[in-house]
A = this chain, B = another copy of it.
Amino acid sequence: MLKATVVGSVWSTKRVEGLPNGAFLEVEVDGSGTSLVVFDVLGSGVGEHVLVATGSVAAAYFPDPHPPVDALIIGSIDEK
């Protein structure tokens, strides 16, 4: 998993069928300038520090047929 910070939303009206309820968020991966678009079902907000799982495990979180998403916020990181 990657630690990352939510930096914004991505909207897509024209898209493939079968995407679940939730949002596409843009995150910036900690300790890198890299940004990534992830799927979110937790209602994460801008500035939130989150844990991101990538690859087919993101899709497999959803019922079959699995949607074509390859990154999912699996938790919000507790601040110490």
Q: Which of A39-80 contact B (CB under 8 A)?
A: 39, 41-42, 51, 53-61, 65-78
Chain B residues contacting A1 (CB-CB under 8 Å) are 24, 36-39, 69-71
Give A1-37 as 1s and 0s: 1 = Cβ < 8 Å from B's Cβ atoms: 1110000001111111011000010100001000111
Copies of this subunit: 5
Question: Known contacts A35-B31, A57-B59: does B74 contact A68 (CB below 8 Å)?
Answer: yes
22 intermolecular pairs with C-beta atoms under 8 Å apart: A2-B36, A2-B37, A10-B77, A11-B77, A12-B76, A12-B77, A15-B76, A16-B41, A18-B61, A19-B75, A24-B51, A24-B75, A53-B68, A54-B70, A55-B56, A55-B57, A56-B56, A57-B70, A59-B60, A60-B65, A60-B68, A61-B67
